[in-house]
Amino acid sequence: MTLTFVLMLTEKDMTIPDAITVYEKLSVDALRTIAFKDVGTDPSMARDLTDAAHEDGRSVLLELADMSDAGQERGYRLALDLGVDSVVGAWRPEVAHAFAGSGTPEYWPFVGSLSGSPLVLDSSPDALAAEAERLSATDGVRGLVLMPYRQTSYDPALLMERTAARSAVPLLIAGGVRDAGQIAAIAAAGAWGFTMGGAALADRHNDPASVTKRVSEIIRLSQEAPVAR
């Protein structure tokens, strides 16, 4: 088993305006999943991006960054309309019930209390562990998403380890992942995978080929990192 890397075509919790251009210039066969967010996303662009990724044999994840009730409702409608493979959003029992058995999209709710923009995590290791156990046992939940690098109160490794140990479904680490040390820690904690956006896209304006180089390096690090069983 190797760590899964999900390329987020986002910066500062928003989809980048040149997401299609960046995607079309990517040349990394090993990249299997791309993602973008509801905030900053034009529906037409989102459809073109989703269709292009599916044509290339990749899966698509939509993360709902607008945590308001209205924003989550719009986001789930967008996910269904686009036909993305996975949708990440706030925990909502009615969504889990609606998506149970439907196959697509898979529902991956956030674990922990999140607020602000960019989102900040405010939950203890004990609270995350208990919530992970409860949510992952719920029909319709196919994975969980944790943002351990979006807080400063606890050791991120501890949050990941405690959450992964109590989750019965794959755990995806999102937000603030930037370097090889974090990738190694994510693998050691037993997570299924991680997302990276801004850190992979930072030099794209000065050097368009930098995204392909950076993504290739991230995938190499992911494949080499020992994953906890």
Separation CA 220–CA 156 (nearest Å): 23
Q: Which two tokens stand for residue 32?
A: 């299997």
Half-sphere exposure of 183 (CA within 13 A, CB side): 20
Question: How many other CB atoms are found less than 10 A from the CB of residue 127?
Answer: 15
pLDDT band at 6 (very low <50, low <70, confident <90, very high): very high
pLDDT per residue as tens digits for the range 20-64? 999 999 999 999 999 999 988 888 999 999 999 999 999 999 999
Quick check: helix, strand or coil at residue 144? strand
Half-sphere exposure of 95 (CA within 13 A, CB side): 26
**Domain layout of the chain by residue ranges:** 4-109+171-224
For residues 84 and 62, is the Cβ–Cβ distance under 8 A? yes
Where do the DSSP E strands lie in the chain? 4-8, 10-11, 14-15, 33-37, 59-63, 86-89, 106-109, 114-115, 120-121, 144-146, 171-173, 193-196
- The CA-atom distances, in angstroms, between 37 and each of 16, 34, 70 are 9, 11, 15
pLDDT per residue as tens digits for the range 115-154? 888 889 999 999 999 999 999 999 999 999 999 999 999 9
pTM for this predicted structure: 0.96
Residue 202: enclosing H or E segment and its boundaries?
none
pLDDT for 229:
67
Quick check: helix, strand or coil at residue 187? helix
Residue range 162-189: mean pLDDT, rounded: 96
Give me the CATH code for the 4-109+171-224 domain, please.
3.20.20.70
Q: Please give the backbone phi and psi of residue 187, each rounded to the nearest 5 degrees, phi first.
A: -65, -45
pLDDT for 196:
97
pLDDT for 30:
95
The β-bridge relationship of strands 171-173 and 14-15 is unpaired
Separation CA 218–CA 104 (nearest Å): 28
Separation CA 124–CA 104 (nearest Å): 32
Query: For residues 228 and 60, which has the higher predicted lDDT (pLDDT)?
Result: 60
